[in-house]
């Protein structure tokens, strides 16, 4: 055995302990870096020759140490669980936002909304029933009815605006998915090449994991780690990122609320136009809002407008105006199309503008008879009234919105708990890193002392032995 083998072993320890201090310093420097996973220096003892021969034998006690790898500390199960919970959290949080916006558009949270305005309309008809010959009372009925139609128009426009805004946001999300997927593919290529070249790639892998998490929050995508260091991303069972190749998605379908029934909004692949299945995430919530939530409540709101027009018109046409002429349609659309042609919250209007044409009387020539006005005033409390339809709509919206809010709150807590577990596993603990730093420092000092001792021994052997 060579006399200098101890120097080689101690020198390898110096290199290894210094590498350990470098890695510890990297951890400490990134203690507050978002998405950073702490790293650990893996050391391995260097043994003797694997195939001993006559002149290649070793006692195996002074070969030293080598750094076999610098690994990221991550729990694959917790990381996968984190992606699932983040995707669900993004979906439910966006659902809560959508229902809140629908409530605001409906005016369901307002004390001066449609319900109060319809109550004032029925009160105006009641006042007219008491004074059927009063021109001011007749004008008040028309004014109150105009206020109701204006509110119906405003609510419809608010829902249409919410649809358009969500549609534009979906386009932005699709662009973000394409950009992020391309970045993941580039990092996959860099990680694979760096691994093959023996270069450090942990920081690149951290960047890629953060982008994959963002993709998950957007689309609910799944990620699969490969043996070569790359990570594949699948979306609804189809590959979004495979190695260094990323596919692209696009949005198709209606751009306006009025067109969504004939052209539902969908996400598709650009290479084959096949529909993309979005399991969760913000895109899933946006698609549900565009195809189900907003159109559904808009249709229910149209039904309120239709019921209002039909019930008032049915009764109004049985009465007589101030001149004794049978009453005409009170509500319709600007073109005067009958109710059966389709009255919605977006096109309903007051067709009668002349107060004398309001059919308040129930008998011909009965200028002071307010029987028909009284009958119309009672529509608000009758079975099948627009008031009941609107209250049912608001109650359903309130319960659904409350459930969405509770689910979002529970999921947010669950996501934070999972993130805490992930942070406990892969985050930097400064107390632990300081302990490791001291351990590496002491080991480095001890290796230096070994070299000093061997140097002193060799000096005695060379300079103080013999004549």
Token pair in block for residue 60 = 């195996």
pLDDT of 242 > 50? The answer is yes
pLDDT of 149 > 90? The answer is yes
List the one residue out of 21, 318, 345, 343 whose CA is nearest residue 158.
345
Helices then strands, counting H and E runs in the chain, come out as 10, 10
* Cα separation, 21 vs 437, whole angstroms: 6
Looking at per-residue pLDDT, the higher value among 53 and 77 belongs to 77
Residue where the block lists tokens 């960047």:
207
Q: 156: buried, middle or exposed (CB in 10 Å: 19+, 13-18, 0-12)?
A: buried
- In this prediction, residues 249-256 reach a mean pLDDT of 93
For 106-173, give the DSSP string: HTTT-TTSHHHHHHHHHHHHHHHHH-TT-HHHHHHHHHHHHHHHHHHHHHHHHHHHHHHHHHHHHHHH
Torsional class of 68: left (φ above 0), alpha (ψ -120 to 50), beta (otherwise) = alpha
Handedness of CA 265, 267, 273, 276 (dihedral sign): negative
Paired residues of 224 in beta bridges: 232
The long-range contacts involving 298-303, CB below 8 angstroms and separated by at least 24 positions, are 298/156, 298/159, 298/160, 298/257, 298/345, 300/389, 300/393, 300/396, 301/106, 301/152, 301/155, 301/156, 301/159, 301/345, 301/393, 302/156, 302/343, 302/344, 302/345, 302/346, 303/389
Query: What's the confidence (pLDDT) of residue 454?
Result: 84
Query: What's the confidence (pLDDT) of residue 1?
Result: 47
If pLDDT is split at 50, 70 and 90, which confidence band does 4 have?
A: low
- pTM, entire model: 0.87
- In this prediction, residues 263-275 reach a mean pLDDT of 92
Cβ neighbours of residue 56 closer than 8 Å, sequence gap 6 or more: 49
- Whether the CB-CB separation of 304 and 391 falls below 8 Å is answered with no
Paired residues of 260 in beta bridges: none
List the one residue out of 49, 60, 63, 47 whose CA is nearest residue 6.
63
Q: DSSP assignment, residue 258?
A: G
Query: What's the confidence (pLDDT) of residue 456?
Result: 85
Averaged confidence pLDDT in the chain: 89
Token pair in block for residue 278 = 């979005």
- Whether the CB-CB separation of 64 and 46 falls below 8 Å is answered with yes
Residue where the block lists tokens 């199309």:
337
Token pair in block for residue 155 = 């609510």
Q: Any idea which of 102-111, 146-155, 211-220, 432-441 has the lowest mean pLDDT?
A: 102-111
- In this prediction, residues 202-217 reach a mean pLDDT of 94
Cβ neighbours of residue 86 closer than 8 Å, sequence gap 6 or more: 213, 216, 217, 415
- In this prediction, residues 388-399 reach a mean pLDDT of 92
Token pair in block for residue 50 = 């694997």
Residue where the block lists tokens 């459930």:
403
Question: How do residues 339-374 score in pLDDT, each as one tens digit?
Answer: 556 889 999 999 999 999 999 998 886 567 888 999
* Cα separation, 330 vs 350, whole angstroms: 6
List the one residue out of 98, 110, 99, 94 whose CA is nearest residue 396.
99
If pLDDT is split at 50, 70 and 90, which confidence band does 2 have?
A: low
- In this prediction, residues 123-139 reach a mean pLDDT of 91
- Whether the CB-CB separation of 411 and 87 falls below 8 Å is answered with no
Q: Any idea which of 54-63, 74-83, 170-179, 406-415 has the lowest mean pLDDT?
A: 54-63
Token pair in block for residue 107 = 């005016």
* Helix/strand/coil percent split, the chain, to 5: 60, 10, 30
Q: 131: buried, middle or exposed (CB in 10 Å: 19+, 13-18, 0-12)?
A: middle
If pLDDT is split at 50, 70 and 90, which confidence band does 413 have?
A: very high
Q: Any idea which of 53-57, 288-292, 363-367, 424-428 has the lowest mean pLDDT?
A: 53-57
User: In angstroms, how far is CA 229 from the centroid of its own chain?
Assistant: 28
- Whether the CB-CB separation of 286 and 251 falls below 8 Å is answered with no
pLDDT of 6 > 70? The answer is yes
* Cα separation, 296 vs 315, whole angstroms: 29
């Amino acid at each position: 055995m060579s006399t200098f083998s101890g120097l080689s072993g101690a020198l390898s320890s110096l290199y290894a302990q210094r590498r350990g201090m470098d890695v510890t310093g990297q951890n400490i420097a990134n203690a507050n870096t978002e998405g950073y996973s702490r790293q650990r220096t893996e050391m391995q003892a260097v043994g003797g020759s694997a195939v001993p021969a006559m002149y290649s034998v070793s006692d195996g006690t002074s070969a030293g140490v080598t750094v076999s790898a610098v690994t990221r500390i991550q729990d694959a199960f917790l990381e996968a669980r984190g992606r699932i919970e983040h995707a669900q959290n993004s979906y439910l949080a966006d659902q809560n936002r959508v229902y809140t916006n629908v409530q605001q558009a409906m005016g369901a949270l307002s004390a001066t909304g449609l319900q109060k305005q319809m109550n004032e309309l029925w009160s105006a008809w009641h006042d007219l029933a008491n004074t059927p010959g009063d021109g001011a009372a007749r004008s008040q009925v028309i004014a109150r009815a105009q206020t109701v139609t204006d509110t119906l128009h405003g609510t419809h426009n608010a829902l249409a605006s919410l649809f358009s805004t969500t549609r534009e946001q979906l386009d932005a999300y699709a662009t973000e998915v394409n950009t992020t997927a391309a970045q993941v593919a580039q990092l996959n290529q860099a990680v694979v090449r760096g691994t093959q070249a023996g270069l450090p790639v942990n920081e690149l892998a951290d960047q890629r994991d953060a982008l994959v998490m963002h993709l998950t929050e957007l689309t609910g995508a799944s990620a699969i780690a490969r043996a070569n260091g790359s990570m594949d991303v699948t979306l609804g069972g189809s590959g979004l990122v495979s190695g260094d190749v990323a596919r692209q998605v696009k949005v198709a379908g209606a751009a306006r609320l009025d067109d969504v029934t004939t052209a539902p909004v969908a996400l598709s692949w650009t290479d084959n136009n096949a529909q993309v299945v979005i399991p969760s995430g913000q895109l899933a919530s946006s698609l549900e809002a565009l195809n189900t939530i907003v159109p559904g409540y808009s249709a229910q709101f149209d039904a309120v407008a239709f019921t209002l027009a039909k019930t008032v018109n049915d009764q109004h046409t049985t009465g007589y105006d101030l001149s004794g002429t049978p009453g005409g349609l009170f509500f319709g659309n600007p073109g005067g199309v009958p109710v059966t042609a389709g009255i919605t919250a977006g096109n309903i209007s007051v067709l009668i503008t002349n107060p004398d044409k309001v059919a308040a009387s129930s008998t011909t020539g009965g200028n002071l008879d307010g029987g028909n006005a009284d009958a119309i005033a009672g529509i608000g409390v009758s079975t099948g009234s627009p008031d009941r339809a609107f209250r049912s709509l608001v109650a359903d919206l309130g319960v659904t919105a409350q459930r969405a809010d509770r689910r979002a709150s529970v999921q947010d807590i669950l996501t934070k708990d999972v993130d805490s577990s992930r942070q406990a596993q892969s985050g930097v603990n400064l107390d632990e890193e300081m302990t490791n730093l001291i351990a590496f420092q002491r080991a480095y000092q001890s290796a230096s002392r070994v070299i000093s001792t061997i140097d002193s021994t060799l000096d005695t052997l060379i300079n103080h032995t013999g004549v």
